[in-house]
Structure 1
Amino acid sequence: MTNKKVILSAKDISVAFQVRQRTLRAIRNVSVDLHEGETLALVGESGSGKSVFTKVFTGMLESNGSVATGEATYGDIKLTDFKTNADWEKIRGGEISTVFQDPMTSLNPIKTIGSQISETIIKHQKKSKEEAKAIAIDLMDRVGIPEADKRYDEYPFQYSGGMRQRIVIAIALASRPKILIADEPTTALDVTIQAQIISLLKELKKEYGFAMIFITHDLGVVASIADKVAVMYSGEIVEYGTVEEIFYDSRHPYTWALLSSLPQLATSEKLYSIQGTPPSLYSEIKGDAFAPRNPQPMAIDFEQEPPKFEVSETHWAKTWLLDERAPKLEKPDGIRDIHSKMVELYGKKD
Structure 2
Amino acid sequence: MTVNKNVILSAKDVVVEFDVRDRVLTAIRNVSLDLVEGEVLAIVGESGSGKSVLTKTFTGMLEENGRIASGTITYRGQELTNIKNHEEWEKIRGARIATIFQDPMTSLNPLVTIGRQITEVIVKHQGVSSSEAKSLAIDYMERVGIPEAKKRFNEYPFQYSGGMRQRIVIAIALACRPDVLICDEPTTALDVTIQAQILDLLKELQKEYNFTTIFITHDLGVVASIADKVAVMYAGEVVEFGTVEDIFYDPRHPYTWSLLSSLPQLANASGELFSIPGTPPSLFTPVVGDAFAPRSEFAMQIDFEEAPPIIHVNDVHWAKTWLLHPEAPKAEKPEVIQGLHEKIKAKMSVEEIS
| TM exceeding 0.5 | yes
* Correspondence for 1:237: 238
Alignment of 1:227 with 2:228, yes or no, is: yes
* 1:93 alignment counterpart: 94
Instruction: Determine helix, strand or coil for the equivalent of 1:221.
Output: helix
Q: Which amino acid aligns with 1:144?
A: G
Change (3 A) 1:174 1:345: farther
Structure 1 residue 94: Cα displacement: 0.6
Shift of 1:346: 8.5
Instruction: Name the counterpart of 1:255.
Output: 256
Matches within 5 A, 1:206-217: 206-217=207-218
Residue deviations 1:92-112 (CA, integer Å, cap 9, x gap): 001000000000111000000
Match of residue 283 from structure 1 = 285
Deviations 1:103-135 (A, max 9, x none): 011100000001111101000000100000111
Decide whether the 8 Å contact of 2:288 with 2:306 is kept in 1: yes
Q: State the secondary structure of the residue aligned to 1:119.
A: helix
Q: Could you tell me how far 1:247 is from its partner in structure 2?
A: 0.2
Offset of 1:345 from its aligned partner? 7.2
Counterpart CA distance in 1 for 2:265 and 2:338 is: 15
Query: Contact (CA 8 Å) 2:293, 2:304: kept in 1 or not?
Result: yes
User: CA contact under 8 A between 2:266 and 2:273: conserved in structure 1?
Assistant: no
The secondary structure found in structure 1 opposite 2:84 is: coil
Cα deviation for residue 293 of structure 1 reads 0.3
Which residue identity lines up with residue 324 of structure 1 in the other structure? P
Q: Distance in 1 between matches of 2:64 and 2:273?
A: 40
Provide the C-alpha distance between the structure 1 equivalents of 2:212 and 2:236, rounded to a whole number of angstroms: 23
How much does 1:338 deviate? 0.8
Aligned to 1:153: 154
Give the whole-Å Cα distance in 1 for the aligned partners of 2:151 and 2:197: 22
Aligned to 2:199: 198
Shift of 1:267: 3.6
Deviations 1:164-204 (A, max 9, x none): 00000110110110000000000000111100100000000
Return the alpha-carbon distance in structure 1 between the equivalents of residues 259 and 246 of structure 2: 14
- Superposed CA offset, 1:56-75 (max 9, x none): 00000000000001000110
Shift of 1:271: 1.2
- Deviation sequence 1:37-56 (CA, Å, 0-9, x none): 01000000000000000000
> What amino acid maps onto 1:62 in structure 2?
E
TM-score, normalised to structure 1's length? 0.97
Tell me the matched-pair count. Answer: 347
2:143 aligns with: 142
In structure 2, the CA distance between the partners of 1:4 and 1:208, relative to structure 1 (3 Å rule), is: farther
- Give the secondary-structure state (helix, strand or coil) at the position aligned to 2:201: helix
> Which residue identity does 1:285 align to in structure 2?
V
Displacement after TM superposition at 1:342 (Å): 4.2
Q: What is the CA–CA distance in structure 1 between the aligned matches of 2:321 and 2:161, rounded to whole Å?
A: 44
Match in the other structure for 1:271: 273
Change (3 A) 1:315 1:307: same
Aligned-pair CA distance for 1:268: 3.1
SS in 1 for 2:252: coil
Q: CA deviation at 1:266?
A: 2.2
1:4 deviation in Å?
A: 6.0
Q: Give runs of aligned pairs for residues 26-105 of structure 1, distance below 5 A.
A: 26-105=27-106
Tell me the secondary structure at the aligned position of residue 226 of structure 2: coil
* Corresponding residue of 2:352: none
Counterpart CA distance in 1 for 2:5 and 2:344 is: 28
Q: Match for 1:286: what amino acid? A: V
Alignment correspondent of 1:114: 115
1:324 alignment counterpart? 326
Distance 1:61 1:193, change over 3 A: same
Check the 8 A contact 1:11/1:30 in 2, yes or no: yes
User: Where does residue 19 of structure 1 map in the other structure?
Assistant: 20
AA partner of residue 152 (structure 1): F
User: Residue 337 of structure 2 corresponds to which residue in structure 1?
Assistant: 335
Question: In the alignment, is the contact (CA less than 8 A) between 2:43 and 2:231 conserved in 1?
Answer: yes
Contact 2:145–2:167 under 8 Å retained in 1: yes
Q: Structure 2 stretches of 5 or more lacking a match?
A: 350-354
SS across alignment from 1:223: helix
Quote the offset at 1:264 in angstroms: 1.3
Cα distance in 2 for residues equivalent to 1:76 and 1:67 = 19
RMSD: 1.5
> Is the contact made by 1:180 and 1:213 (CA closer than 8 Å) also made in structure 2?
yes
Shift of 1:296: 2.2
3-state SS of 1:224 partner: helix
SS in structure 1 opposite 2:10?
strand
Q: Is the 8 A contact 2:180 2:211 kept in 1?
A: yes
Q: Which moved further from structure 2: 23-32 or 259-268?
A: 259-268
Aligned counterparts of 2:345 and 2:244: Cα–Cα separation in 1: 13
**Secondary structure, in 3 states, of the residue corresponding to 1:314?**
coil
